[in-house]
Structure 1
Amino acid sequence: MALTILKGKFIYLIVVGFILATIVGTISHEYGHIAVAKYLGYNTSLHFSS
């Protein structure tokens, strides 16, 4: 029984970790594009709705 609870908790942590890593990874990736664009002199911004 205890092993089943630990498996459930582990799966929960993996799923939540994956979701958070996806969000952080996507935003940091897009900010990389913005950094290069600003370095090249473009006036740019990040819109989350597009």
Structure 2
Amino acid sequence: RYGRNRNAGDPKHGMASGLIRGNIALLLTIYIFLCMVVKIAWVTPFPKLTIF
């Protein structure tokens, strides 16, 4: 009953926490992606390091 329009008066409510949560999620995603790439690179070494 109270959860729908409690903060309709100020549209910016929750923006800061939303931005913080979004940035943390983005950083975690990039970190996991980098870990996966590095692990794949170490497990299967490149032939003569042609990619570099």
TM-score bracket, shorter-length normalisation? 0.5 to 0.7
Residues matched between the structures, number: 39
Q: How high is the sequence identity, in percent, across the aligned residues?
A: 10
Alignment map for 1:25-40 (pairs within 5 Å): 25-40=30-45
Cα distance in 2 between the residues matched to 1:22 and 1:14: 12
Structure with bigger helix share is 1
- In structure 1, runs of 5+ residues without a counterpart are 42-50
Larger radius of gyration: 2
- The alignment's TM-score, normalised by the length of structure 2, stands at 0.58
Greater relative CO, 1 or 2 (CA 8 Å, sep 6+): 1
- The alignment's TM-score, normalised by the length of structure 1, stands at 0.59
- In structure 2, runs of 5+ residues without a counterpart are 1-7, 47-52
Stretches of 4+ moved more than 3 A in 1? none
Aligned to 1:2: 9
RMSD in angstroms over aligned alpha carbons? 2.0
